[in-house]
Structure 1
């Protein structure tokens, strides 16, 4: 009985530490990082699912040669930030061993899964992108964001400290860029 009492605190520490010793069913292998707010993951049957990050909107990346070669300052600025956001997502995915944990909250009109995305160690990818100024809070969709307070606080921090796009007076929010493009 005395040994059992000594094991309880150890079990609690391990459980609360976010240790992912036993991969859960919501852990997926990342096949591709498409941009700063979209990834493709493989399901157990090897099929691919596109996942759009809940709560945020990252700057656009160029999708065509015409966009890649555009000389418009608006395009160059948007794509520069978009490439940085995509690279940061790739770096985070690499840190997680190409694995992510999804909390799927919805499906969009394109059939993409909308999800909060974390690394196996618990790091919240959307929070990192927002806090570093590489994405913006997507306010119309916050209702699909169980961690909305974390996201909003991260954006306040990024704005206050002029990180990423918040230090760039020429930056145009992705939703405005898509509208005027």
Structure 2
């Protein structure tokens, strides 16, 4: 009996330690100085580390052989106004880095506001979740719905080459033009049809980077 009780207590202790460690891992925080703003969703810290804002995509600025998107420079300017030369707080969840090695983080100002959320609410960025989800997905999606309904920023501009419908992928949370090769590859079970781009974005789906719906 004593042995069983001892094992039970040990199990509870180990589970508690694991749970606390998981919380610390999922919500690692640190304060950093922003040296430079690259664009609307990427910054460079004091020692050169690049940080990509988690859960959002801003319009692209011209880069190499790619032309920029509408409001790309405006989003970059707004990001600079918010964070350049300032101390900010980074919050990370379970997805620490992207495929380019950049840190993924939610960026908070000293007054407690989340920069990711501000940019989305002002129509300076799209919500864009990964398959693993996002710790602040509800907040970001609420901000995007508000921006869409108010017609702010990117939502004040008519879509380029609007389609009669758009094809979403429930698994990847991406949506495509009907002619997009990536959209055609998805299984029927993951397929969902949206009547408009704003309908897809209101449900938390993100634009395909290839067909740019």
Whether these two folds match at TM > 0.5 is: yes
Say how many residue pairs are matched.
139
Q: CA deviation digits over 1:76-106, x for unaligned, max 9?
A: 6x1x411111100000015xx5111001231
2:87 is aligned with 1:99: yes
Distance in 2 separating the partners of 1:165 and 1:133: 5
Secondary structure of residue in 1 paired with 2:148: helix
More helix by share: 1
Secondary structure of residue in 2 paired with 1:107: coil
User: Structure 1 residues 88 and 149 mapped into 2: Cα distance closer, same or farther (>3 Å)?
Assistant: same
Give structure 2 stretches of 5+ with no counterpart.
1-28, 162-196, 198-205
Give structure 1 stretches of 5+ with no counterpart.
1-24, 68-74
Secondary structure of residue in 2 paired with 1:31: strand
Shift in Å, 1:29: 0.7
Paired residue for 1:108?
98
Paired residue for 1:13?
none
RMSD over equivalenced CA pairs, Å: 2.3
Secondary structure of residue in 2 paired with 1:155: helix
Instruction: Flag the structure with larger Rg.
Output: 2
TM-score norm. by structure 2 comes to: 0.59
Paired residue for 2:32?
28
Distance in 2 separating the partners of 1:171 and 1:161: 19
**Cα pair 1:55 1:141 within 8 Å, conserved:** no
Relative contact order (alpha carbons < 8 A, sep ≥ 6): 1 or 2 greater?
1
TM-score norm. by structure 1 comes to: 0.69
